[in-house]
Amino acid sequence: MSIPRVDLHCHSTASDGTRPPVEVVRKAVEVGLAGLSLTDHDTTRGLDEAEDEARRLGVRFLAGAEISATAPEVSVHLLAFGFDRSDHELQRFLTAFDGDRRSRARRMVTRLQDLDVPVDYGDVEDQAGGAAPTRAHVARALVAGGHVTGEREAFSRYLSRGRPAFVSKRDVAPVEVFRVVHAAGGVVVLAHPGREHDSDSIRRWASEGLDGVEVFHPANSASTRSRLNALAVELGLLRSGGSDWHGPGTRRSGLGSEPVPVRWLEMIESRCTGAASGRGTRRRSPNEESE
């Protein structure tokens, strides 16, 4: 008998995933997950419809978002869970990311055009489908235009840090993300820490308010998972994990591919005052939407 598992890191068309939020939830049920968190980049846009579908299908759902931060010369991705999505400061904070992503995509397009790559911002918008554009959308526009053979080549030739069309995000310190998410009743977990972040960085962020680490992720090696487990015990951090799934045919493993136990979701929920009080699932009123 298989042990019930969850996936606490996946994406939809609300950011750079290729499947709508409701389809992500349906896929979770299809692969036998007991629960999931939708963690789109710098937005809560898809959470209401995903949660409604999860409730209809009887699968557990935790509000989430993957929020961008920066440290010197490195991006820091932070998974926020269990927050009150109607929190005004949180929504203002995320709205600023939306504007920055659109400006950043325009600057990447300009750099590509300077390199004689004939891609237009409209091509990127077509790939984004109304979501704030990410580098993945720029990469898909390059693929669709026949300028590269795949997204991997788009990143390696043009879009990765140090490549000619790379544009940095706006500077947001991790501690600022901790402050905003905690004020909204949520917790913050460091995403895929095995890729770029050492134990000293994690200890420093834990002292500043980081609540947990993503132990299970396709980019974390076995030795990294062991190190993160030990560090979580040492620092009293929550543990999390997920596939970082962006949809069929994308670079990540399948939804539910990581052995994340249900109890990790439950431990995260127990620390989230936004979710525990019911505020994490409250709809925003029409007046709140317009502010």
C-beta of residue 244 within 8 angstroms of C-beta of residue 192? yes
| pLDDT tens sequence across 83-106 | 999 999 999 999 999 999 999 999
Domain boundaries, the chain: 5-94+171-290, 102-159
- Same CATH topology for 5-94+171-290 and 102-159: the answer is no
Q: Which of 186, 254, 196 is nearest to 10 (CA)?
A: 254
Of all residues in the chain, what percent are helix, strand and coil, respectively (each to 5)? 45, 15, 40
| pLDDT tens sequence across 209-258 | 999 999 999 999 999 999 999 999 999 999 999 999 999 877 777 999 99
Q: Does domain 102-159 have CATH number 3.40.800.10?
A: no
In this predicted model, which residue has the larger pLDDT, 65 or 253?
A: 65
What does the pLDDT average to over 157-184? 95
In the CATH scheme, what is the code of domain 5-94+171-290?
3.20.20.140
**What are the angstrom distances between the C-alpha of 108 and each of 66, 120, 171, 185?**
22, 10, 17, 35
Which residues are within 8 A (CB) of 86 and not within 5 positions of it... i.e. 6 or more apart? 279, 282, 283, 284, 285, 288
Whole-angstrom distance, CA of residue 45 vs CA of residue 244 = 18
Query: What pLDDT, on the 0 to 100 scale, is given for residue 169?
Result: 84
Query: What pLDDT, on the 0 to 100 scale, is given for residue 275?
Result: 56
* Whether pLDDT at 47 is above 90: yes
